[in-house]
Structure 1
Amino acid sequence: MVRIAKWGRVRRWPLPLLLALLLAGIGAPARPLTAAPISIHYDVWMPEPHKHYFEVAVTVAGVKRETLDFVMPVWTPGSYLIREYARHVVYFAATDGAGRERRTYKVAKNIWRVVAAGSDPIRVRYRVYAFDPSLRGNYLDDEYAYINGPSLFVFVDGFAHAPVTVRLHPAPGWTRISTGLEPVPGDPHLFRAPTYDVLVDCPILIGTHTVYDFDVRGVPHRLAIVGEGNFEPTRLIADVARIIETTIALFQDIPYAHYTFLVLLGESGSSGLEHANSAVLHYPRTGFQPESAYKNWLNLVAHEFFHLYNGKRLRPVELGPFDYTRENYTRMLWVVEGFTDYYADVILRRAGLLSEEEFVEALARTISAVQRTPGRRVQSLAEASFDAWIAFYRPDENSPNATISYYTKGAVVAALLDLQIRAQTRGRRSLDDVMRLLYEEFFRRRDVGYREEDVRRACEQVAGGPSQALEELLDRYVHTTAEIAYDRFLAHAGLRLAPIVPEANRGYLGIEMESRSDRLVIARVRADSPAEAHGLYPRDEVLALDGRQVTARDFWKRLGEKRPGERATITVRRRGLERTIEVVLAPPPVVAYRLVPIAQPTPEQRALYRAWVSAGDDR
């Protein structure tokens, strides 16, 4: 099993040492560090970007072994899926210091063995195909290069703790490199990292992208943006800075020397990936307007920036040091992702970027998402976290019926836990204090991972002791599929959950559809629905309703004219054969909720509500 060193505190190299290293030859294109007993140096070329191949060389000096194993990770921390990056390696060769070829062969799907025969140094070269538009792989075309470290850089088994340098060789005309890696002074193309783990935690953007630099509390921050977008730069920078300032104020610590947002603008899709001193954000280029879309952008920024505290530094014991060769299981993603999801809205509200009404509505939407997911009755939060590798990151047509999101339900548990702690301490403490306590103990003092019992202990300590309500939140709603007693906790703030009742005279079928060219296909069948009961299947192509051919538009229009209890005759094509299925429609279920004030809130409830929803300027 390969274990990699973790990212701890920011490390600064003294200037005299840097000068000594430079004089020793660190700046040479293919020469490694020589001041240390072991040095590992990477070169990355992109000679023909339109062909989507990176050329990589790794020079290992100070290691004399009969064989050396070079390992390609199979996953990226923060994205819990085995992605088999080695499949994109199309060439692998090795030479010794005299340029003689050394034999190489595979010993596992992602491990290449070099017969070094004691030679020192050893240099390997390989090519990586790079045309993955997601944030979890590499991308290279004639406009820009994006490097996701684990999918490009192999490590030397047994020496991943060693310091590394990386020289980037940009394509002609590419003048900008944006990354969280530390630059070596005097050379704009040379970077260093104290360990392999730090290297691959710093994604790299290369090209002619736009860069906006700004300071928060005297610390440099950067927005590096690929592509044109419908944003106003001055407002964008100001709002991102407010998010950063508000998050720093919560944790009362700035654990990085500089921070970079890498923003990849595309046609559609919104996602992010957190790193210790950077984040990668994929967002629609037209997604900054109208205002509601802009709030989605701000939420993405707030979520990923919060992760540098919760997830990258404050982390479960299973998530660092990493084993890059297999799944790293944890039952705590509801804290890593769920708490972060909740705090994204909290940060936006405190920064004055969400109104009080928008903040409350955001929690109502999250609760609605949990309650309309049948899988909440099947999978617990802890199970959802553990099974992220085979469930959350591998969704299929049955996922809503069999799984629950540790993002949404985790955010709900965080919100209710926040309200409970505020109530239990008469407004003196909150979930903020839990986060600060854990951060101080497990990152700043010890730099180790926490266990579930540590989170429970911190909550009880901040709340003034254990309680049945805390037990319910941290045990029952995490480890079982029991329905959440929302009103019990919302009442602390003088609120209750109110269903948005659908039209009672519209029949319910229980399917989700998708259009494929001119075909109307069932994408999902909801559990306990008339569609499931009467045998409609995912991937059925819908041809007719009550004997009349339908399109996507008129199918829903005509179905909506039917009342609960009425019959609908649906003709489908399944595996090339037509069949007709008769379905009895049901009353529509509740799928959305609001948070509304209770009839007569007490002064204590009003005060707790006001403290909970207050922005930075009225706290």
Structure 2
Amino acid sequence: MHYRISSSNPASRTIEVEFRLTGLAAPTVELQLPAWRPGRYELQNFAKNIQRFELFDQTGNPLIFQKITKDRWRVQTEGVSELVARYTYYSNTVNAGTSFADDRLLYVNPVNLCLYADDRLHETCTLELDVPDHWEIACGLTPTSPNILSATDFYELVDCPLIASPDLQHETYKVGETVFHIWINGNIQPDWERIRRDFYQFSEAQMRLFGEFPEKDYHFLTLILTTPFYHGVEHRNSTMLVLGPNDEGEGLYTDLLGVSSHELFHAWNVIRIRPAELLPYDFTKENYFTTCFVAEGVTTYYGDLMLRRSGVFNDAAYLKELQVLLKRHFEANGRAFQSLTESSWDLWLDGYDKGVPNRKVSVYNKGATVALILDLHIRRKWNHARSLDDVMRLMWERFGKPFIGYTLDDYRAVTEEVAGEPLDWYYDRCISGNEPLEPLLNDYLAFIGLRLESDAIDPVNTPAVFLVQPDDPEGLENRLRWLNDQH
């Protein structure tokens, strides 16, 4: 499968795609466009952005075809050895999961606009970019010649976004044998010395937790906008980040650190330690699963914690981020009716919208909160000799490294093995239940010398919550052991 992408009129916000499929033998071929993308578990129906769609054989003669679903076409290929699809894709939105073109930027998430045939998913793909020779290309795919990238199969292709531009700024750093690339496109002057130092520190801390890195290289692809924005998406050996505004203040830098650490943790957790229901991805429909509290909640918990453990954040900076996390859960949906497993399932329904009040919880915020509870439970029982780190290492060794997919029962078995006891109370209350978590959380926060308080006692209205630090020398000692991962 070969793709050629260009934008001859970027002011129109259209991207032109040519898809060439060779080696045909069947009388019909069905072409599919993905309905969703990895990292965002909702149907996005990318076919709605296709403006013009044409199909030809190897001699340029039009082929007869019929659209049989919203994003699937059946093509008559009797006597045809090769087909060429030419279509335009409209995109005027920039976030970490879209595609976009202007006169100095071609930004592509291939999952938005690359067709495939079901029986050819595991074949090599090539992606050719029609951009000026002096433009740089930032992508996790392997370049085979100027402006041509190669993927081992369709799954790799659509998990590798790209930025092409004459304005890319690029730096690298190395941890062990892994080379990390930082690409920035936007009107800023990065403090590369600071960025290299901080990115090295949190990358090294995460690699130390798991003992290895899944890929030989990794790319942080970053677009900086002039307007406020915060979005990141994980990919096989890269992440796509969109941030703003480009005021170069501490807020922008803190956002860059936070989203980068979070997305890097995904290189293990969800890219490789993946729910069985998502292995392999079925791009035609919803892929329901109940463990997004592991995929996103545990990752959210570790994203900021790794910044503290690595020394990028000090205690005050980390506790500030922890308070923000807890406020997002307890002030927004601390009394919601759905459990984490229910809300994970319903990501495909309305998980990324505000939705009906008090219906669902955030798999990110509540997921991170219950990850904190589990981590502190294990640490308290084993006096820090065991922790959630051990859970994630076992998940990596048993499911991520062999890449076989895990179930909710698998995750529960690993957590109970590390805890050394049944965890019925945890899964009943925190995962499959919906009761308020403040009393339980405060029981564990007390172990590290913290307490969650509210500014109201009215149970009808949502109170504001905040973290306090009581004078507790023993709690402070445990907090420091937790934050520094001291056994």
Give TM-score scaled by structure 1 length: 0.74
Shift in Å, 1:461: 1.1
Residues 1:455 and 2:455 are matched in the alignment: no
Partner of 2:432 in structure 1? 479
Residue 213 of structure 1: how far off its partner (Å): 2.7
Offset from partner CA, 1:17-53 (integer Å, 9 cap, x none): xxxxxxxxxxxxxxxxxxxxxxx21122222222222
Structure 1 distance, partners of 2:478, 2:410, is 26
Which of 429, 433, 451 is the aligned partner of 2:390?
A: 433
Change (3 A) 1:211 1:386: same
The reply on whether 1:593 has 2:466 as its aligned counterpart is yes
Question: Is 2:111 the counterpart of 1:150?
Answer: yes
Matches within 5 A, 1:280-319: 280-286=240-246, 288-290=248-250, 292-319=251-278
- Using the TM superposition, give the Cα deviation of residue 359 of structure 1 relative to its aligned residue in structure 2, in angstroms: 2.3
CA contact (8 A) 2:186 2:246 kept: no
Q: How does 1:18-417 map to 2 (within 5 A)?
A: 40-170=1-131, 172=132, 175-184=135-144, 187-208=145-166, 209-229=168-188, 231-266=190-225, 267-286=227-246, 288-290=248-250, 292-374=251-333, 376-396=335-355, 398-399=356-357, 401-417=358-374
Tell me the secondary structure at the aligned position of residue 222 of structure 2: strand
8 A contact 2:274–2:403 mirrored in 1: no
Conserved 8 A contact 1:438-1:458: yes
Give the aligned length: 483
Q: Distance in 1 between matches of 2:310 and 2:247?
A: 21
Relative to structure 1, the CA distance from residue 80 to residue 117 in structure 2 (aligned partners, 3 Å threshold; closer, same or farther) is: same
Separation (CA, whole Å) in 1 of partners of 2:283 and 2:135: 32
Structure 2: distance between partners of 1:288 and 1:218: 31
Equivalent in 451, 465, 475 of residue 421 of structure 2: 465
Q: Please give the alpha-carbon distance, in whole angstroms, between the structure 2 residues aligned to 1:61 and 1:230.
A: 46
Q: How far apart are residue 201 of structure 1 and its match?
A: 0.2
**C-alpha separation in 2, matches of 1:214 and 1:609:** 31
Greater CA deviation, 357-366 or 304-313? 357-366
The answer as to whether partners of 1:491 and 1:598 remain within 8 angstroms in 2 is no
Q: Which amino acid aligns with 1:415?
A: L
Query: For 1:449-491, what per-residue CA distance to the aligned partner results, in whole angstroms no more than 9, with x for missing partners?
Result: 111111111111112232xxx3222331111111221222223
CA displacement at 1:607 relative to structure 2: 4.6
* Contact 1:497/1:595 (<8 A) preserved: yes
Write the distance in 2 (CA, Å) between the matches of 1:316 and 1:340. Answer: 14
Contact kept in structure 2, 1:272 and 1:300, CA below 8 Å: yes
- Describe the shift of the 1:328–1:174 C-alpha distance in structure 2 as closer, same or farther (beyond 3 A): farther
Gap runs ≥5 in structure 1: 1-39, 509-526, 530-588
Q: Is residue 177–residue 216 contact of structure 2 (8 Å, CA) maintained in 1?
A: no
Question: 2: CA distance between counterparts of 1:217 and 1:476?
Answer: 41
2:29 alignment partner, SS class: strand
**2:326 alignment partner, SS class:** helix
Question: AA paired with 1:46?
Answer: S
Indicate the SS of the match to 2:253: helix
1:492 alignment partner in structure 2: 447
C-alpha distance in 2, partners of 1:121/1:610?
A: 64
Q: CA deviation at 1:438?
A: 0.5
**Where does the alignment leave 5 or more consecutive residues of structure 2 unmatched?**
none
The Cα shift of 1:216 comes to: 2.4
Go from structure 1 to structure 2 and tell me whether the alpha carbon gap of 1:61 and 1:377 turns closer, same or farther (over 3 Å shift): closer
Q: In the alignment, which residue of structure 2 is the partner of 1:560?
A: none
Aligned counterpart, 2:376: 419
Using the alignment, how far apart are the partners of 1:221 and 1:78 within structure 2?
21
Change (3 A) 1:233 1:437: same
CA contact (8 A) 1:342 1:412 kept: yes
Identity %: 31
Give, in angstroms, the shift of residue 332 of structure 1.
0.9
Give the Cα–Cα distance (whole angstroms) in 2 for the partners of residues 600 and 268 of structure 1: 41
Give the partner amino acid of 1:481.
N
1:377 and 1:152 map into 2 onto residues whose CA distance is: 37
